[in-house]
Structure 1
Amino acid sequence: MLSVVCPIYNEEKYIRGCIESIVAQDYPKDCLEVLFVDGMSVDATRGIVVEYSKRFSFIRLLDNPKKIVPSAMNIGIQAAKGEIIIRLDAHAYYCDNYFSVLVKRLEELNADNVGCVCKTDVLFKTPKTLAICEVLGNRFGVGNSTFRTGVDNIMEVDTVPFGCWRSDVFKKYGLYDERLVRNQDIELNKRIIRDGGRICIVPDTYCIYYARERFRTFTKNNYENGKWNVLTVFYTKKLDSLSIRHFIPLLFVLSLVLPVLASVLWGPLLLLGLISLSIYGVALGSISLFLAYKKKLNFFYLLVSFIILHLSYGWGALVGICRLPFIK
């Protein structure tokens, strides 16, 4: 028996595509339940799920009054009947062998969690959205995040998108930390590794995550990600709850901000900030020019997308640090 848990909230734009990819799975439907845990959506999301639940008996709708992902996952895990649990995201599409491959590999590898590559795409393809999509799959944008940049072989990693676990994993390592509005998957995976567990990524299947398509929402999302990196470490009291790559944008922003502040005391220190900005500008321009030429993308939108990703992420982390003294 496989239980699939999918937290949702106001997903009317994406939920049909997500459900259709679930229905198309080659996994036997008589051994499947799909739990959509809704944070009390105010758009058409709930109605769409109910519509599908009337057609497919394995689909159920659960309520999540707390409205955050970790509580949705815990509600789903505790309601699940399956020996194996998979987490999904409504902002995504899943290859038709997604369930069967992850379940098979979980057994073969005797791992505690198994995932696959998460490709980035956009629903509406324009020069701007294609640039955002490229940046979120590029090493200069996301660092050494293996599940975004791709793999050719089975690898042990520090985290995977979403996840596939035996249900007893949550008895051994604990449920999702409901203090964490974001980073709850990463923190859980770090907890598993810290206690001797294994997490593997496999190349046999994939999912497609649909990115934000406007610079405003793209900025807000990455700002919140950066802020919650700091808050995750604060709440868990574990520096290794995240990876080094999560703090690179913060270091970049600090390399710009600190010299400016310090130059008030000694003017020449401003030069350090200019050097950091110059190195970044050269690297950014070169990579954007290469991608624009090789992949026929818009150079300007690539530049802007990289800058937004790095600065909003780093600034969010800096704001998170500034908030720490005021958190009870």
Structure 2
Amino acid sequence: MNIKNVSVICPVFNEEAFIEACIISIIEQDYPQDAMEILFVDGRSTDHTVDIIRRYMEQYPFIKLLDNPERIVPHALNRGLQAAKGEVIMRLDGHCTYPTNYISELVKYLYLLNADNVGGVWSTQPAKDTPVCQAIALASSHPFGVGGSMHKIGASKIMETDTVPFGCYKREIFEKTGPFDTDLVRNQDDEFNGRLQNLGGKIYLIPQVVINYTARDTLCKMRKMYYQYGLYKPLVNKKLGAPTTVRQFFPLFFLLGLVFGGIGSLLSPFILQVYTTILLLYLFVGIVVGSMGAIRAHQPLLVLLMPYVFFSIHMSYGIGYIVGIFNVICKKTTQVTHSR
């Protein structure tokens, strides 16, 4: 393989629990270190994230630290792009660890497939060995929880797709697309990839490249994340001029069905029967998934937890989506203070 210079951009904020494992997995890459630069872009962390990064900078000169005063991800990515020197731009996440061939495989397929962006699949890991964390990880990687998002639920072969996690791009495509959209605290990858596809770009999922992604460690953090995913999706659709996927509407329809179905149930016995059947089916699916997870993890509480965790994901996303539609209609913006 013709060695390309690679610039890795990794936005971080308060990642002290995960950043060292992330850095070690980057250091252990089989890609030549003299062809790599690792740009950590910190959103003014208040923990020891920066101290840990600086400790490794003393040993490895290809690791660099940039400041992100705006504190949100798209600003971090754009600051990284401005500083990057590589022919290939790769985004990473401090919440993950990467196989030793991660960079080499993605760079290889980026050129072998004549692609504009390639990425791997997530292996979603629980943050802790507790029933709640196991339930969050399972729901976040199951089709019933996240739909047909192939990089989350897995794929069996290389395939063209609409988005991939993080992304490995040819540098020249940014001259066509422009930078990441700073209006989008979440879903900036989806919007960028939609923009890329609108310009004729090709995106491929490489399933043999597996990223270990650590799920959120509390239900509150999980709900906040999915709320933000839903919140910014209507804005992505507006910017692209069309919805990027059909699956994004299912939590919204489920939420509206709960509300209007509940009202209709008060007026019609038939609607009540249909409404009750759908809710029981939803509960049944959650219990079945929980039972299978309980057997694999030897954790019987998953049987009870999974319906609630699925419900939390769908409601959080659906409520966020409705608020996002309202914000787009009223031209309101959402203020945030940090990048995670």
TM-score (norm: length of structure 1): 0.93
Listed as ranges, the gaps of 5+ residues in structure 2 are 333-340
Asked whether 1:76 is paired with 2:80, we answer yes
Matches of 2:217 and 2:270, distance apart in 1: 38
Identity of aligned residues (%): 42
Contact 1:5 1:35 in 2 (8 A): yes
Amino acid at match of 1:23: I
> For the residues of structure 2 that align with 1:12 and 1:125, how far apart are their CA atoms?
19
Once the two structures are superposed, what CA deviation does each residue of 1:106-128 show, in whole Å capped at 9, x if it has no partner?
11110000101111012321222
The residue aligned with 1:239 is 242
- The answer to whether the 8 Å contact 2:283/2:307 transfers is no
SS in 2 for 1:55: coil
Query: Which of residues 307, 312, 317 is equivalent to 2:311?
Result: 307
Q: Distance in 1 between matches of 2:297 and 2:47?
A: 37
**Alpha-carbon shift at residue 65 of structure 1 (Å):** 1.2
Distance in 1, Cα, partners of 2:19 & 2:34: 22
Deviation larger for 298-307 or 87-96: 298-307
Q: Which amino acid aligns with 1:299?
A: V
Matched, 1:213 2:236: no
Q: Deviations over 1:217-273 (max 9, x none)?
A: 111111121112123224x15223x31112211110010112345678x55686254
- Residue 280 (structure 1) aligned to one of 279, 282, 285: 282
Shift of 1:139: 1.0
Which of 229, 232, 244 matches 2:233? 229
User: How many angstroms apart in 2 are the aligned matches of 1:50 and 1:197?
Assistant: 37
CA spacing shift, 1:267–1:203, aligned 2, 3 Å: closer
Q: 2:170 aligns with which of 155, 166, 172?
A: 166
Q: Secondary structure at the match of 2:58?
A: helix
Equivalent residues in 2 for 1:80-95, closer than 5 Å? 80-95=84-99
CA contact (8 A) 1:101 1:204 kept: no
Is 1:47 the counterpart of 2:51? The answer is yes
**CA 1:114/1:287 → structure 2, altered by over 3 Å: closer, same or farther?**
same
- 1:118 aligned to 2:116? no
Match of 2:261 among 255, 259, 262: 259
Aligned to 2:335: none
Once the 2 structures are TM-superposed, how far is the Cα of residue 285 of structure 1 from its aligned partner? 3.0
Structure 1 segment 106-185 matched on structure 2, within 5 A: 106-185=110-189
Aligned 8 A contact 1:159 1:189 in 2: yes
Residue 292 of structure 1: aligned partner: 294
* CA gap 1:182/1:286 in 2 versus in 1, 3 angstroms: same
Structure 2 SS opposite 1:239? coil
Kindly state the Cα deviation for residue 153 of structure 1 after the two structures are TM-superposed.
Answer: 1.5
Distance apart, 1:318 and its partner CA: 2.0
SS at 1:56's partner residue?
A: coil
Deviation at 1:82, TM superposition (A): 0.3
CA-CA distance at 1:19 after TM superposition: 0.5
Query: Residue 81 and residue 237 in structure 1: after superposition, are their counterparts in 2 closer, same or farther (change >3 A)?
Result: closer
- In structure 1, the residue matched to 2:22 is 18
The answer (yes or no) to whether the contact 2:286–2:306 under 8 Å persists in 1 is: no
Cα shift at 1:283: 2.8
C-alpha change, 1:204 and 1:2, in structure 2 (3 Å) is same
Preserved contact between residue 25 and residue 99 of structure 1 (Cα < 8 Å):
yes
Partner AA of 2:232 in structure 1: W
4+ residue stretches of structure 1 with deviation over 6 A? Answer: none
How many Å apart are 1:291 and its aligned residue? 3.6
Distance in 2 between the 1:290 and 1:30 partners? 46
Structure 1 stretches lacking a partner, 5+ long: none
**280-289 or 11-20, larger mean C-alpha shift:** 280-289
Q: Given the two structures, how large is their TM-score scaled by the length of structure 2?
A: 0.90
Task: For residues 34-91 of structure 1, give each alpha carbon's deviation from its aligned partner in whole angstroms, at most 9, with x where no partner exists.
Answer: 0001111121111111111111000000111111111111110111000001100000
Contact 2:287–2:304 (CA under 8 A) maintained in structure 1: no
Partner secondary structure for residue 247 of structure 2: helix
Q: 1:294, CA displacement in angstroms?
A: 5.2
